[in-house]
Amino acid sequence: MPPKKSRSRATTRRGFGRIRELPSGRRLASYIGPDTGLHKAAQTFDTKTRAEGWLSAERTLIDLETWEPPALRNLPIAVPEPAPPVLFGAYAARIIATRVSRRGQPLSRRTMESYKSLLRLHINPTFESTPVQDITLAMVRDWYSNVSRVRKRGRKSNPDQVHSEVPTQRARAYEVLRMVLNVAVEDELIVKNPCRIRGATAVQPAHDPTVLSPVEIGNLASAMPETLSVSVLLAAWCGLRPSETFELRRRDFNSDCSVMTVSFAATYREGKIEIGRPKSGSTGPVVIPSHIRPAVRTHLDRYVDSPTNSLLFPDPETGETMREWVYRRIFNAACVKIGRPDFRPGEQRHTGGTVAAQAGGTLAEIMERLRHKTPAAAMRYQKVGAGRAQALADNIAKLASSDGEHSAEQP
């Protein structure tokens, strides 16, 4: 009996790939891919022609350099989960905590606390839980129209005193909101900043700063206690901020008291006094007018200890750095004595800038004297004061007269 022939499986070899006939009569196509691996079709074919068509399609993908293993083509595409929304409150807190000044330095404590206060009182009540991406121009307009311009009374305020209007409050809150959303644009969280209200940062003061006349400056200095009298003369005639006056020390004056160097300022925040650079880093020398130099020398001799770091105006209760409200209480009482209860400690600096302008100081000279960084700040003192136009005309007449006399003497 002849041996039984085994059933063979026909395999067709080709220039690319191969086709094998299965016992079922269907065809299985496969090929060696660019990755040198063997790749099989995901299904079998009922005819040879269809198997060849699949191989041809695979070869085309290889020639076009768009090929990838067949097993990977039908995998489900992983859809990333949407990122959680970035809420304004947490985002703003992070931005302010990492904010730096134009010089690349960390923000001062006073500036940082101001930003946090504006966020807490005026911005977060509306936007804290709102995703940054959802804040719109309409929302900003509604918020801006409702921001309070009235300062709330503090715990130590006079209960009979009415709420005072603070026109800068709303403008500054808007600036903080705009600053945070500008960073959001840089971080590509939003495409455009919704803070686009025209004139939102413009401030119309509730009242013009009060300026004392030279006679009133002298009267106010006389109404102060002897140990603090010179503080008025220096602040009003040299344009000092109260915080700068509190930190003046013996070492800040030269031997004849003709020049004073402003290097530090004392501010009281969160229950403690912090000594730092003056506002905007405005340090530098200030020439003391000659008419108050004797009073400064007398004060140094009588009331200031001999060590160079001795304070000129220590707190009368503690002997340490003056606390702002202690000075204000004494200062306000003196203002009442001279009939100017409307004058405030901070307006001594404005008085200094105004008298410098009335004395003929140029914009650059006033900037140097008050240690301003920008002309805009010094421009506030360039307004023509009462009677200044007549004084200027008189000076022109004197100049013309003296020049005529001088010319007449020439041969």
Six-digit token string for 66: 């768009």
Q: What is the pLDDT of residue 355?
A: 80
Q: How many CA atoms lie within 13 A of 153 on its CB side?
A: 9
Banded model confidence at residue 375, pLDDT cuts 50, 70, 90 = low
Q: What is the pLDDT of residue 6?
A: 47
pLDDT tens for each residue of 3-46 = 554 444 556 666 788 989 888 889 999 998 898 889 888 889 99
Mean pLDDT of 262-282: 77
Give me the CATH topology for the region 214-346. hpI Integrase; Chain A (1.10.443)
Higher pLDDT, 271 or 35: 35
Contact between 365 and 352 (Cβ < 8 Å)? no
Banded model confidence at residue 149, pLDDT cuts 50, 70, 90 = low
Q: What is the pTM of this model?
A: 0.58
C-alpha distance from residue 76 to each of 56, 57, 79, 332, 337 (Å) = 25, 22, 9, 77, 85
Across 39-48, 155-164, 401-410, the highest mean pLDDT is recorded for 39-48
pLDDT tens for each residue of 307-325 = 999 999 999 989 999 998 9
pLDDT tens for each residue of 59-112 = 998 888 888 888 787 777 777 777 789 999 999 999 999 988 777 778 877 788
Q: How many residues does the chain have?
A: 411
Higher pLDDT, 359 or 253: 253
Is residue 136 scored above 90 in pLDDT? yes
Please give the full DSSP string across 270-335, using - where no structure is assigned: TTEEEEEPPGGG--EEEEPPGGGHHHHHHHHHHHS-SSTT-BSS--TTTSSSPPHHHHHHHHHHHH
